[in-house]
Amino acid sequence: MSSAEPTQHAALDHFPVVDDCLQVGGEPLTRLAERAGGTPFYLYDRALLDARVAELRSSLPADISLHYAVKANPMPALVAHLASRVDGMDLASEQEMRLALDAGVPAHRLSFAGPGKRPAELRAAVAAGVTIILESLGELERVGAIAEALGWRARVGVRVNPDFELKASGMKMGGGPRVFGIDAESVPAALARIGELDLEFRGLHIYTGSQNLSADAIINAQHRIVALALELAEHAPTPPAFLNIGGGFGIPYFAGETPLSLAPIGEALTQRVQEVHDRLGPTEIIVELGRYLVGEAGLYVAGVVDRKISRDHPFLVADGGLHHHLAASGNFGQVIRKNYPVVVGNRFRGNERETVTVTGPLCTPLDLIADRVSMARAEPGDLIAVYQSGAYGLTASPTGFLSHPPPGEMLVG
Ligand SMILES: *Cc1c(COP(=O)(O)O)cnc(C)c1O
């Protein structure tokens, strides 16, 4: 038997606590709940978004470009806020493209990736002048035909499915047979075809996975990505304007996880930048991040509707849950369910504490917010706050399931 302390979540100190109430953007959570017109709702903090961008800028080499992967959180005000703070955005649908263009990101700073882009999406992207990241040889031919029919030169990049995997990654998206990207061994032929079709070749995109908390694993992947990109770039019709080397930077969600160290990644990248500039000249190197930029800046807040004791175990039933925040319920690809960091936002420490299970209102045992967590004792009307909720929250959730109303969203501070 271990005598160690029970495993804890990483320090939750990015939202201050005043009079035992969480503060977001300088306002108490209770007041924000009134401003939201009631629970449940998502809250995102502008200052935390800015702090995260600043941290990345100071840790990574100055000539690394920072892109935002819009699918992590497409709230229009948040996308508009980030538009002037990052160097570009990566899109995964036509709707995300419109959002980013409306937010003022210039088309040449946008790239549109993702498998199965429909012909109408490709036409819209060609018309907008957005770089289409080709995911297959078939898509390459479709873009060639569309560009010819429309009479505009299409900007394209090639997503490469590398012949290696990112170790210790939460979600693997490269190596082996994949729906994402063109297999590395077929990329030289694809690049030649881009030249034949007279498409405007912009660059290579190599993305190997997501939610990685190991700096060593990320450094190793970036090393191999750059080596592969330099090799493939020799087959390009023109030197690549950019190399998108992916991201995969993770944030700590669960007990025992520790934050990623940026400093060693920054140091290693300095060498990669040098290698690329020595071989290719002024090629832009892009790191694309979703979750790392926005995940920690967000809270999901649900109100307690009922408190009940079942066979001695206390339950809190909240007005939000799985249908708004699938990931926190443990049903967004997790193999083993673990609790997100959760507190009673208006009784941060509380006078009395208890071990309690917090559920949502849906008629399914999957609708869990937190199972057997230690929290301040809460009553109906209190506010349950789920940390690490700024990425893959609302738009990664089945809001139609059981037909409850959707949550609000506010960007504050
Ligand atoms: C989803 C995705 C991202 C963002 O991943 P995060 O884990 O949120 O940083 C970046 N690039 C591509 C190609 C993606 O599919």
- Kindly report, residue by residue over 49-81, the tens digit of the pLDDT: 999 999 999 999 999 999 999 999 999 999 999
Per-residue exposure over 136-158, b if at least 16 CB sit within 10 Å of its own CB, e if not? beebbebbbebbeeeeeebbbbb
Residue appearing with tokens 């209190």: 382
390 and 296 Cβ atoms separated by less than 8 Å: yes
117, 158, 207, 212: residue to mutate for ligand 1 pocket, most atoms within 8 A of CB: 207
pTM, 2 dp? 0.95
Cα within 13 Å of Cα(90), Cβ side: 25
* Ligand 1 atom nearest to CA at 92: 15
Question: 324 CB under 6 A from ligand 1?
Answer: no
326 and 396 Cβ atoms separated by less than 8 Å: yes
* Ligand 1 atom nearest to CA at 171: 7
Domains of the chain: 17-45+296-412 (2.40.37.10), 74-289 (3.20.20.10)
pLDDT digit string, tens, across residues 158-182: 999 998 766 555 555 566 889 999 9
* Ligand 1 atom nearest to CA at 291: 8
**pLDDT > 70 in the chain, percent:** 96
56, 67, 71, 117: residue to mutate for ligand 1 pocket, most atoms within 8 A of CB: 71
Question: 113 CB under 6 A from ligand 1?
Answer: yes
Centroid of ligand 1 to alpha carbon of 291 (angstroms): 8
Q: From atom 14 of ligand 1, which residue's Cα is the shortest distance away?
A: 69
Question: 121 CB under 6 A from ligand 1?
Answer: no
* The pLDDT of residue 169: 54
Question: 211 CB under 6 A from ligand 1?
Answer: yes
* The pLDDT of residue 1: 39
